[in-house]
Chain A
């Protein structure tokens, strides 16, 4: 078992011998793998809520929605639907690429996506089998006929011949039709199969661009995705630090460093500290990816619906705030108690002393640790790809799968990641040196 988009690379690795899972015939794939004759003719269909007046036809995708924003269309990342929608509507719509087909249905149902485009057989299967979404309907006519084929490794030509023979036999005997009818997949288009086989394989007019040309084409998209990564990091880290500082102050408030008398008397104080400690333990004890899913998929059930990008910012901020809280608390407690005593004896209030004397010292102590966490956060933005945020890792996955140039795209993505995090490493090292100079007598 593997992700749908892993099948071809598993074929390469010898983990499987035949890829048979609704894989469309494309000239690029046919150059790398042996393709059988088609066993199914598919079309792409548009699916939206029946009551969504703004999605009445394919052409309506070119118009903005009622509140002026671009329409959001969910597709299976790397599929024919992805290629079609990106080519036809990529400039007028936001294409949201998912790892599976099923994720898009609840999102269209709840309105977070305007529509989804899928292969017709898959769409009919899911709508009919998963009666969970009665509001979803197929809109307008299906388009862009294509072919599902089986793939095998290039060297397994005889295997493909056997598969071809099997497909023909199944069709002639009527078994193929019976199987499709049983699952509600048979339609008039399938009767054109023999005709398609006669002219198979189709002529390869596909102009293969040179590798460097293909890479060059992806570069702007990569830069845009890197920009998303930078935005995610620069929005979530300061929030994480602010939340962490608040949590640390709450927890350390009774300590002598902050002018407390060491007792934990007031009930409000006890509750606040208990809540804060629980928060920190829960956040540190659960994975970031899990928290991301909760923010994006579960919060709407509680009435809070946030877009994918901002869900990413929120999840990253909350996750890192738990670690920053502990770092800040230790930083605060490393300030000598005499500092607060001197401040108080000069007539400063506790709050003034914390603000002007204690925190500046605590923050200077924790800057190296926090800077290192920022570098880690930069990498962790990749986790946001699971909710279809088009950051750098997602862009790599999409580009690598559609061009097949896994190595070149990886190099491009790595270069951009390093270009972003290396300056941060240098900055962190400089800060650490500067603080050490200040502290040494």
Chain B
């Protein structure tokens, strides 16, 4: 799938991956959080390292890596048998060993930050898509990750809900959270990205500041991509 990707995201910045379907954008993310295996190279997040293959050492590496990487999925993947609050406190209690009181107070603060303070006890099926995705963001933030990965966070949402989620992500960017976002939302990318990476056919073909990539790119793949996508 991937044919040689060199990607660097500086702490406190937002990297955005754009590209046509099948270019490997989601695969890059899934390699970073260990969901997909890779054959060559290395993932480094802070002090955590992930090497190729499926060895026993890998599971320890994965544990350390996933402790500093959070993921928000296109399909939200909220746990349907738990309420919004319970979704957010689940991992802090059972993975980090926090007490229920501490976890709940931190979770309430996070859900407040994503503007869902009034929906703490709602079940996922009672929430709109946009609300579910915001709960998913709070859930990932509860583990205090160094890096937050977003895999097409608004692709399953209608325009109205897309806006509310993107504004949450923009707020996170302002607060200095390191993020790597795969998205089709070009105007969002322009506003929030520190650096934009264009992927095509398993490699990164162009990287640069948003203004440069969106307005003055000479790369044929980039121009083709920008011409075909609806501006959001």
Interface residues of A (CB under 8 A from B): 261, 336, 338-339, 341-349, 352, 356-357, 360-361, 364, 438-441
Which residue of B33, B54, B75, B125 is within 8 Å of A345 (Cβ)? B33
Q: Which residues of A contact B67 (CB under 8 A)?
A: 347
Q: Which residues of B contact A338 (CB under 8 A)?
A: 73, 75, 77
B94 touches A339 (CB 8 A): no
Task: Report Cα–Cα, A356/B93, bound state, in Å.
Answer: 12
Total A-B pairs in contact (CB under 8 Å)?
66
B179 within 8 Å of A (CB atoms):
no
Shortest Cβ-Cβ A-B pairs, 7 listed: A342-B77, A346-B91, A345-B71, A338-B77, A347-B95, A347-B66, A360-B81
B79 touches A345 (CB 8 A): no
Chain B, interface size: which category? 20 to 34
Task: Report Cα–Cα, A424/B19, bound state, in Å.
Answer: 56
A253 vs chain B, min Cβ distance (A): 15
Interface residues of B (CB under 8 A from A): 33-35, 37, 54, 63, 66-67, 69-71, 73, 75, 77-81, 90-91, 94-96, 123, 125, 136, 139-140, 143
Identify 20 new A-B residue pairs, CB closer than 8 A, beyond the known A345-B140, A438-B123. A336-B75, A338-B77, A341-B71, A342-B77, A344-B35, A345-B33, A345-B66, A346-B66, A346-B140, A346-B143, A347-B66, A347-B95, A347-B96, A348-B94, A348-B95, A349-B63, A352-B95, A357-B90, A361-B80, A440-B125
Give the nearest-CB partner of A342 in chain B: B77
Q: Which of A336, A342, A345 has the most CB of B within 10 A?
A: A345
Which residue of B35, B75, B125, B139 is within 8 Å of A346 (Cβ)? B139
Q: Which residues of B contact A439 (CB under 8 A)?
A: 125
Give the nearest-CB partner of A256 in chain B: B35
Give the nearest-CB partner of A345 in chain B: B71
Whether A345 touches B90, Cβ cut-off 8 Å, given contacts A338-B77, A364-B81, is no
Task: Report Cα–Cα, A345/B66, bound state, in Å.
Answer: 6
B148 vs chain A, min Cβ distance (A): 11
Secondary structure dominating the interface of B: loop
B94 touches A345 (CB 8 A): no
Whether A345 touches B35, Cβ cut-off 8 Å, given contacts A357-B79, A364-B81, is yes
Give the nearest-CB partner of A350 in chain B: B59
Whether A346 touches B63, Cβ cut-off 8 Å, given contacts A339-B79, A364-B81, A441-B125, is no
B66 touches A261 (CB 8 A): no
Whether A347 touches B143, Cβ cut-off 8 Å, given contacts A338-B73, A342-B79, A352-B95, is yes
B81 touches A341 (CB 8 A): no
A347 touches B77 (CB 8 A): no
Task: Report Cα–Cα, A22/B86, bound state, in Å.
Answer: 73
B37 vs chain A, min Cβ distance (A): 7
A339 touches B54 (CB 8 A): no
A339 vs chain B, min Cβ distance (A): 6
A341 touches B77 (CB 8 A): yes
Q: Which residues of B contact A357 (CB under 8 A)?
A: 79, 90
Which residue of A261, A348, A440, A441 is within 8 Å of B91 (Cβ)? A348
Q: Which residues of A contact B94 (CB under 8 A)?
A: 348, 352, 356
Give the nearest-CB partner of A263 in chain B: B54
* A-B residue pairs in contact (CB < 8 Å), sample of 12: A338-B77, A341-B73, A341-B77, A342-B136, A344-B35, A345-B33, A346-B66, A346-B90, A347-B95, A347-B96, A356-B94, A438-B125
A2 vs chain B, min Cβ distance (A): 56
B70 touches A345 (CB 8 A): yes
Task: Report Cα–Cα, A348/B143, bound state, in Å.
Answer: 11
Task: Report Cα–Cα, A439/B80, bound state, in Å.
Answer: 9
A52 vs chain B, min Cβ distance (A): 59
Q: Which residues of A contact B63 (CB under 8 A)?
A: 347, 349
A347 touches B91 (CB 8 A): yes
